[in-house]
Structure 1
């Protein structure tokens, strides 16, 4: 497995290293394919990363932004991942509106929205049904229950292997999420994880043997690079096997 693990001294160093890697991947993708595709994570950890990206002088017309998952709320809702990324980054740069590929959340039914987004993705990547296109970078966080994107322990979303997008559930809150095979098709998957509360989950994710349904981040085994960027609070006790 092409897994790289780095433990950074603190959250500032974690964000700086994440930014460095993203910019490097962007440069390669644009040189090779003429565009850069990235799927964003939600949560509090990546917000300063998005703010840092917004400060860069980049070829915005060549950058396409997606989301790995989204809560089923309107785009202006305080819990919206799209809203967070727009406020931290996208509203501050000259990225074309058509380069922002938000997950639809206002169809009244998450299953309808998931199917609609699947079609949008297939049209963008010119991908036939049954195939999995490759984003250049997929950013992921990880919860203290080892979930990533909206792939929660012991949920139906973990069983979806033939689609790009599905409905994720946390308690009664419905979400839309990339499937793990779609994530695994990426050129580069980058976990950015901070906080001592993540230590128990990380121990299971990095263990030689553990149940993938209980610890869904174990399902992420991409064909491309897999980066785990951890701050010291999260990663100080990680045993890499």
Structure 2
């Protein structure tokens, strides 16, 4: 289970309150990063849960020229495909704000070779962050979702991607379909890693992720252990999966 002392768990009464709180946390992380480093680097997630967050961020008054956007994972489809995480984020948020085009780094998916595109995205990250060999860059804000099987990003149970420790980006696999995904060590390097989880269908996974008995290969979200701890934002339905009694101080 998450065990680092800086981990935060918040259970919000409903989905609307969850999104409002996620907005506050996201904006605060962006403002802190800009105050400290004069830029904010974000890794975004896909799925239905963060879309209303993105729609809310589209109305925010932020210094967009100092914000740089990456994606923690992507389906291996063209960027204009309805399943594309980048397309969803653009429609809900990025196309609505004056963020410079050169500040947005979608995952490449056009080589007809997932491994080649994963390597290309890794080089994009290394070039942007000017990393040294063997170094993992620290993104300022990493947004994570969680599936009802406990996966996060495109790190699915019992897949090879879970054990990749020498790369920033690798190829994930979901029911035979390739995905491109950040690796566990890259996510763990994030300065602020936020899980946004909603729905009663997540209760079983939450119970296992916060259990000392479950294994990270069964529930990959358990593998995310950033040095600064995670910040979990759950709606009341998902929060029913937390151990009872639950005391965040026990983490």
Report if TM-score (shorter chain) is over 0.5. Answer: yes
Within 2, Cα distance between the matches of 1:237 and 1:191? Answer: 15
User: SS of the residue aligned with 1:163?
Assistant: coil
Within 2, Cα distance between the matches of 1:10 and 1:98? Answer: 36
Within 1, Cα distance between the matches of 2:22 and 2:107? Answer: 24
Per-residue deviation, 1:48? 0.2
Per-residue CA deviations over 1:168-200 (Å, capped at 9, x if unaligned) read 000111000000100000001000000000000
Within 2, Cα distance between the matches of 1:103 and 1:24? Answer: 26
Structure 1 residue aligned with 2:170? 166
More displaced 10-residue stretch of structure 1: 142-151 or 203-212: 203-212
User: SS of the residue aligned with 2:126?
Assistant: helix
User: SS of the residue aligned with 1:66?
Assistant: strand
Per-residue deviation, 1:237? 3.8
User: SS of the residue aligned with 1:131?
Assistant: coil
Contact 1:18–1:49 (Cα < 8 Å) also in 2 = yes
1:213 matched to 2:217: yes
Per-residue deviation, 1:53? 0.3
Larger RCO (CA under 8 A, 6+ residues apart): 2
- Could you list the runs of 5+ residues in structure 1 that have no partner in the other structure? none
Contact 1:7–1:236 (Cα < 8 Å) also in 2 = no
Structure 2 residue aligned with 1:111? 115
Structure 2 residue aligned with 1:94? 98
- Could you list the runs of 5+ residues in structure 2 that have no partner in the other structure? none
Per-residue CA deviations over 1:94-116 (Å, capped at 9, x if unaligned) read 00000001110001100000000
1:142 matched to 2:119: no
Within 2, Cα distance between the matches of 1:16 and 1:97? Answer: 27
- What TM-score comes out, normalization by structure 2 length? 0.95
Aligned length: 241
Contact 1:165–1:177 (Cα < 8 Å) also in 2 = yes
Of 230, 238, 250, which residue of structure 2 is paired with 1:226?
Answer: 230
User: SS of the residue aligned with 1:127?
Assistant: coil
What is the RMSD of the two structures over their aligned residues, measured on CA atoms? 0.8
1:65 matched to 2:65: no
Within 1, Cα distance between the matches of 2:77 and 2:84? Answer: 6
Structure 2 residue aligned with 1:77? 81
Within 1, Cα distance between the matches of 2:175 and 2:88? Answer: 22
Within 2, Cα distance between the matches of 1:13 and 1:155? Answer: 34
Of 16, 19, 24, which residue of structure 1 is paired with 2:20?
Answer: 16
